Amino acid sequence: MIARSWHGRVPAAKADAYHGYLLETGVVDYRAAPGNRGVYLLRREEGEVVHFQLMTLWDSLDAIKQVAGEQYERAWYYPEDDEYLLEREELVQHHDVLLASVEPDAQPRKEQSG
């Protein structure tokens, strides 16, 4: 499995509107794409700027390429993004997923002595 991660910054005054916009555009499109296994949308406030991190999970790099094309390392944007974003980051990051777990461990690790 491959994780694809994108980062964007918006003015704090536009953050709630951008969040809704992301849910209506990118999140919907990612979830509908063949080979997509999940979408995570993260938000971090930093003064007058809000950071959004969008991470998608994919079956394989080939699945990403089927959606993004051969220039799969380039970020995807919609025309309306310019109404919100402070800049367009050119590239995304891809990572091999070594572990994917959203459930807590059934047995916590015992403290080791000594």
Q: Give this prediction's pTM.
A: 0.85
Residue spans of the domains in the chain: they are 2-96
If 0-12 CB within 10 Å is exposed, 13-18 middle and 19+ buried, where does residue 56 land? buried
* Model pLDDT for residues 11-45, shown as the tens digit of each residue: 999 999 999 999 999 999 999 999 999 999 999 99
Domain 2-96: top CATH class = alpha beta
